[in-house]
Amino acid sequence: MTLDDQSEIKRRDLHNARDVLAGFPAQCRDATRLVPSPALPRAKPALVVVAGMGGSAAGGDLLAACAAERSDVPIVVHRGYGLPAIAGDRTLVIAVSYSGNTVETVSAVEVAIARRIPAVALTAGGTLGALAARHGVPLVTLPSGLMPRMALGYLFFPALAAAENVGLQIARADDIADALATVETLAAELGPDRPTATNEAKRLAVAIGTRMPAIYGGPDTGAIAYRWKTDVEENAKTFALAGALPEMSHNEIEAWRAPSAAALHLLLLRDAAEPPEIARRFAILRDLVASAAGGVSESWTRGSSRLARLLSLVYVGQWTSYYLALLRGIDPWSVPLLDELKRRMGPGASSS
């Protein structure tokens, strides 16, 4: 198909995922107004643990990436059951489960309650919402009806607000305004109505084609590369690789040899504020593997603040994975194998 054929896009996008993606800026703006009830204690923690799985954990990754520039309190993203042993009474647990029924995240809050660790829950309801209400755990109730991976605004901005409420300086008001303005601008540039010639996400999807995308970020965009990977896997239902520089240049670079590299499309996530030594590594990597790779593309951050730059790159990745799904004749919304896994695991094993 051609990605400029609007009737074909509507035929393949059975659940109107395009409308959800187009509404992402409005979702982010709405999410900035969500606050926990009851209010969080004002004591500044020594550690923040964001407990979540899948799409719900992505907000934690973005929070940690933003905090790396400013916060003196470490943020750990915990993907699994319970809580890490390091979590103590000076820890804040931010439990994120869009469905509210993610068993791993529910178990994290149960452990926090048992160990008297301060916690806040971000969810649209479910078991987590009921648990928080029953024990007086501060709760942010999220609007329902989305796939977790398409609810990043609701999963990130309330977590950011929770961190700010306990004294963590991660993003200023002007940083948030910059981020909102940046994704609003991108929404007009990336939607189905914008032709491929001037649409970065469409061009990236076409460039990747039938090859497996291998997505690399730098020190600041490595977490975003992982988000691109999971979006490609859930939306386009195809494998993707993700990594980060400088680490991959100490090991994984050796795998980029002909003929196997021809089946991969190298996709570099660049940051306008990346250090010169990282820019040099990207340039050398591209020079070394370009002849062996099936193709090479770059996507650059937008905006001025760290939050705007990272969120803009996430948004381009969401649209790219959407168009990649359409090119491959895949419904980007449904997740049949994930649903079957939940069915076999039994009650309580909901999506993130």
Active site residue 78: no
Active site residue 234: yes
What is the architecture of the domain spanning 6-11+186-327?
3-Layer(aba) Sandwich (3.40)
Question: By the 8 A CB rule, do 332 and 20 touch?
Answer: no
Number of other residues whose CB lies within 10 A of the CB of residue 86: 11
pLDDT of residue 1: 85
Which has the closest alpha carbon to 56: 76, 78, 35? 78
Q: Where are the domains of the chain?
A: 6-11+186-327, 32-170
Active site residue 342: yes
Residue 37 has pLDDT above 80, yes or no: yes
Question: By the 8 A CB rule, do 141 and 123 touch?
Answer: yes
Q: What is the CATH number of domain 32-170?
A: 3.40.50.10490
CA distances from 251 to 192, 248, 293, 297 (A): 39, 5, 17, 21
The rounded distance, in Å, linking the Cα atoms of 119 and 99 is 18
Q: Which two tokens stand for residue 340?
A: 């079957």
Q: Which two tokens stand for residue 67?
A: 């905090």
Say whether 32-170 and 6-11+186-327 share the same fold. yes
Kindly name the residue from 104, 110, 234, 274 that is annotated as catalytic. Answer: 234
pLDDT of residue 210: 97
Question: By the 8 A CB rule, do 128 and 95 touch?
Answer: yes
Rounded mean pLDDT of 191-197?
Answer: 98
Which has the closest alpha carbon to 117: 87, 151, 143, 147? 87
Question: By the 8 A CB rule, do 123 and 96 touch?
Answer: yes
The model's pLDDT over 92-108, given as tens digits with 9 standing for 90+, comes to: 999 999 999 999 999 99
* DSSP 8-class letter at 102: B
The rounded distance, in Å, linking the Cα atoms of 224 and 277 is 20
The model's pLDDT over 204-251, given as tens digits with 9 standing for 90+, comes to: 999 999 999 999 999 999 999 999 999 999 999 999 999 999 999 999
Which has the closest alpha carbon to 93: 54, 128, 134, 144? 128
The model's pLDDT over 146-174, given as tens digits with 9 standing for 90+, comes to: 999 999 999 999 999 999 999 999 999 99
- The pLDDT > 70 percentage for the chain reads 99
The rounded distance, in Å, linking the Cα atoms of 346 and 117 is 29
For residue 350, name the pLDDT band (cuts at 50, 70, 90).
Answer: low
Rounded mean pLDDT of 49-60?
Answer: 96
pLDDT of residue 345: 83
Helix 222-231 / helix 306-327 crossing angle, nearest 10 deg: 20
pLDDT of residue 47: 97
The model's pLDDT over 273-329, given as tens digits with 9 standing for 90+, comes to: 999 999 999 999 999 999 999 999 999 999 999 999 999 999 999 999 999 999 999
The rounded distance, in Å, linking the Cα atoms of 308 and 314 is 10
Question: By the 8 A CB rule, do 333 and 17 touch?
Answer: yes
Residue 180 has pLDDT above 90, yes or no: yes
pLDDT of residue 348: 61
pLDDT of residue 69: 84
The three-state secondary structure class of 153 is: helix
User: Against a cut of 0.85, is the pTM above it?
Assistant: yes
Residue 22 has pLDDT above 80, yes or no: yes
The rounded distance, in Å, linking the Cα atoms of 300 and 273 is 10
CA distances from 320 to 222, 238, 240, 299 (A): 17, 13, 13, 11
